Amino acid sequence: MDDKDLKFKAFEGAKALLFKSLHDLQPTSKAEHVVEALDLVKSIYEKHGEWNDSNATHLVNVAQICLNEIGLGATSATAALLHETIERKWLTPVEIEKRFGQAVASILMNFTQISGLDPKDPKTQAELFRQMLISLSSDARVILIKLADRLDTMRSLSKVQAELRIKRAWETFHLYAPLAHRLGLYRLKSEMEDLAMKYIYPKEYKYIIKRLQETTASRNRFLQNFMSPIEEELRKRGFLFTIKGRTKSVYSIFRKMQNQEVDFDEVHDIFAIRIILDSKPENEKSDCWQVYSIITDKYTPNTERLRDWISVPKSNGYESLHTTVLGPENKWIEVQIRSVRMDEIAEKGLAAHWKYKGIRQEQGIDEWVARVREMLESPDTSPEDKVEQFQMNLTSSDIYVFTPKGDIRKLPAKSTVLDFAFDIHTEVGSQCVGAIVNGKNTTIKQELQNGDVVEILTSKKQKPKKDWLSFVITSKAKSRIKQQLRDIENREIQEGRELLLRRLKNWKIDDVEEALRKVNKHLKLKKPTDIFILIAQGKVDLSAIKTLLTAEEEKPAVGETIPKPETEKPETKESSDYLVIDEKLVNIDYKLAKCCNPIFGDDIFGFVTVNEGIKIHRTTCPNAGQLNQRWPYRVVNARWKGSSKSGAFQTTVKVTGVDEIGILNRISEVISKDLRVNMRNLNVSSRDGLFEAQIQLYVEDTKHLEMLLYRLSRVQGVNKAIRMK
């Protein structure tokens, strides 16, 4: 053997096993594709100076696992060999499709979506999960090849850096082992968990391995004593069979020790016996039950531990008959009875079905892929099919949503942005005004999808509202909203009560109870505290209450009665701190007109209405001319005083520009992040490559608005930003 052969010793061994597996593949043209792919990969890697024993062995091992351990065909093996060529941009999908067909090219494109992301970045870690789930909708072989790739990576994990080992091990626990379990690939699942445990819990792993080695001899003696009478009876009845002693996986033993809080010696089901019958298909079930009868005649069974997955197989295709009996030395032992066909399905999962249906690997693939997808998407409720501590249960009843940092949040399907916000923190939910989902602005009502990356937008001016309860679905969000609504109501009752009592004192009204009774009767309120809430919310005119309570002889005219509470709260609460209305008038209630939305710094005037007090308009209001012309006697002077402290003046701006990817995100960042302006509504229209956005928002004053318009006009892609009249 020369130096070159020594350098590629592992590769040559793996290659020999791969070619042996290819020998029986049909059609032969597909098998030839695998050989052609290996030759192509070798030449490309050599060209780039990266053809070494490690890289070459990994590629061949992944293809070998696809064929032998999962039961896939030549198409998947070909894709496994080529799986790094597109990622490294050494080959294009078009080149691969020309040489190996559309199926191989499609698999590799989806595979690249999964593997071509940098797992060191938490945000792309979230995207990794999302792209993996998306790939399920096109071809489930992508997931199976990824499982093969991850299994070989775990087998050689000792060769990588310690930090990366831990990361890969946790990924395997969280995602890959549960996927293998769901697909019925139990051997792959167990090996992955054991290999991951080796690096995450090294001390415990070494301890269990040591104890298993120490008890090997005693287990073998027990197996011999237990099986001797059974084997004799099976041969007497003419059965062809194989007996295997199966030791529970290291991680399963570790999990039992943790869950039951016991030591190694107290775990009773470390060992199981598997009897595999070489039976004809028509005799499989009856033969298994006959063997069950032979075993239970010799040993006492625990009837509560009988598991019949022969009559009704598991949803993933698993078939076997399990029983637990009391064997020699009064030790309980599990016995699994199955046919050769059932055993291969248990080892290779769904892919093995097609071999026994007389269908070769490359035929019937559409039905096979559909079945795999069904397995991955269907709910799984039986205790045996749960991966307990590190389960990632991919069911339709739950969705997995990610924060910008890549943290996973599990929510019920149809959860909204607001559900997600409350799941993060009550304060975040209470102040939520919207979100950026996958880079796009959305409302709090937006329904989230599996794999969405969600960034919550908040405002300190936001408060929970009753209508939120109509679209949130999580119990946490509902309970938090109800609690906060009660807190807000209690505060409003207190505020409204204090305000009304002060006014009653100013109006020289001593009989408070009679005054409240009179007001409640007039407004037909159900609860005595409702009047305080309406006052706190600014929905009742206090001057009209004064008129009602101080009228001595004649009843107030219809136009002077207390107006019924408004259905909507005024956008801005009055405050004598920053507005003066005709300096001769005092204690006058007013509202900002919605037709022009004046803000601090605008030239303004007041207009006396019949039922709604004084309305404040901009002098440039579209209605200003008509008001001055028809009712000049109702126009009063008004001016701003001091400086604005509320920061709650509503206005609307119009932004126009080029319709390109990311433009709304850039605008939103300027408004919400840079200037911390609270957006109330956003309407966007697009035509001929241009967009127009009308944005309702809150500003402090005209200078604040001018700064906002200037900053918006400087955003790349924005042509103009103006205030709407």
The arithmetic mean of pLDDT across residues 525-548, rounded, is: 79
**CATH number for the domain harbouring residue 324:** 3.30.460.10
Report whether pLDDT(428) > 80. yes
The answer to the question of residue 376 being in a domain is no
Identify the domain containing residue 414 by its residue range: 400-473
Is 591 found in the same domain as 546? no
Is 335 found in the same domain as 283? yes
Is 607 found in the same domain as 523? no
Residue with tokens 């269907």: 378
Q: What's residue 1's pLDDT?
A: 44
Is 90 found in the same domain as 132? yes
Kindly state the DSSP code that residue 416 receives in the 8-state scheme.
B
**Nearest-angstrom CA–CA distance, 257 and 268:** 11
Q: What's residue 138's pLDDT?
A: 60
What would the two tokens of residue 86 be? 């597109």
Q: What is the DSSP string of 439-482?
A: TEEE-TTPBP-TT-BEEEEE-TT----GGGGGT---HHHHHHHH
Q: Smallest Cα–Cα separation from 598: which of 577, 576, 571, 625?
A: 571
Q: Could you tell me which residue, 401 or 165, shows the higher pLDDT?
A: 165
What would the two tokens of residue 296 be? 């239970």
The answer to the question of residue 574 being in a domain is no
Kindly state the DSSP code that residue 563 receives in the 8-state scheme.
P
Under the banding of pLDDT at 50, 70 and 90, the label for residue 275 is very high
State how far the alpha carbon of 443 is from the alpha carbons of 456, 476, 477, 548, 581, in Å.
10, 20, 16, 43, 38
The H or E element containing residue 243 is strand 241-247
Cis peptide bond prior to 27, omega within 30° of 0:
yes
Report whether pLDDT(605) > 90. no
Under the banding of pLDDT at 50, 70 and 90, the label for residue 684 is confident
Helices (H), 237-339: 250-260, 284-298
The answer to the question of residue 117 being in a domain is yes
Q: What's residue 643's pLDDT?
A: 59
Is 142 found in the same domain as 7? yes
**Nearest-angstrom CA–CA distance, 145 and 154:** 14
The answer to the question of residue 421 being in a domain is yes
Kindly state the DSSP code that residue 410 receives in the 8-state scheme.
E
Is 616 found in the same domain as 533? no
What would the two tokens of residue 4 be? 């070159």
**Nearest-angstrom CA–CA distance, 201 and 254:** 10
Q: Which long-range contacts (CB under 8 A, 24 or more apart) does 670-676 make?
A: 670/708, 670/711, 670/712, 670/715, 671/695, 671/697, 671/708, 671/712, 672/457, 674/711, 675/704, 675/707, 675/708, 675/711
Q: What's residue 416's pLDDT?
A: 94
Helices (H), 305-401: 340-348, 351-356, 365-377
Q: Could you tell me which residue, 686 or 235, shows the higher pLDDT?
A: 235
Under the banding of pLDDT at 50, 70 and 90, the label for residue 130 is very low
**CATH number for the domain harbouring residue 666:** 3.30.70.260
| Cβ atoms < 10 Å from Cβ of 582 | 16
The answer to the question of residue 381 being in a domain is no
Q: Smallest Cα–Cα separation from 654: which of 691, 688, 620?
A: 691
Q: Which of 588, 618, 640 is the last residue of a domain?
A: 640
Under the banding of pLDDT at 50, 70 and 90, the label for residue 177 is confident
Residue 212 contacts residue 267 (beta carbons within 8 Å): no
Is 619 found in the same domain as 596? yes
The arithmetic mean of pLDDT across residues 207-221, rounded, is: 88
In the chain, % of residues over pLDDT 70: 80
**Nearest-angstrom CA–CA distance, 616 and 177:** 66
**Nearest-angstrom CA–CA distance, 482 and 468:** 10
The answer to the question of residue 118 being in a domain is yes
Q: pLDDT of 552-576, one tens digit each?
A: 434 444 444 455 554 444 343 333 4
Q: pLDDT of 286-317, one tens digit each?
A: 999 999 999 999 999 988 889 999 988 876 67
**Nearest-angstrom CA–CA distance, 158 and 630:** 89
The answer to the question of residue 712 being in a domain is yes
Report whether pLDDT(40) > 70. yes
Is 55 found in the same domain as 194? yes
Please work out, in degrees rounded to the nearest 5, the angle formed at the alpha carbon of residue 258 by the alpha carbons of 253 and 259.
Answer: 100
Is 276 found in the same domain as 214? yes
Is 241 found in the same domain as 345? yes
What would the two tokens of residue 317 be? 């295709």
Spatial strand order of the sheet with 649-658 comes to 679-687, 690-699, 649-658, 718-723
The answer to the question of residue 569 being in a domain is no
Q: What's residue 293's pLDDT?
A: 93
Q: pLDDT of 53-87, one tens digit each?
A: 888 999 999 999 988 888 788 888 999 999 888 88
Count: domains in the chain: 6
Q: Smallest Cα–Cα separation from 398: which of 420, 377, 378, 413?
A: 413
**Nearest-angstrom CA–CA distance, 468 and 464:** 7
Let me know how long the chain is. 725
Mean pLDDT of the chain: 78
Is 596 found in the same domain as 635? yes
Q: What is the DSSP string of 574-640?
A: --TTSEEESTT--S--EEE-TTT---TTS-EEEEE-SSS-EEEEETT-TTHHHHHHH-GGGEEEEEE
Please work out, in degrees rounded to the nearest 5, the angle formed at the alpha carbon of residue 188 by the alpha carbons of 186 and 190.
Answer: 65
Q: Which of 473, 504, 528 is the last residue of a domain?
A: 473
Q: Which of 150, 169, 200 is the last residue of a domain?
A: 200
Q: pLDDT of 429-475, one tens digit each?
A: 999 999 998 888 889 999 998 777 889 999 888 889 889 999 999 98
Is 678 found in the same domain as 620? no
SS3 of 509-521: CCCHHHHHHHHHH
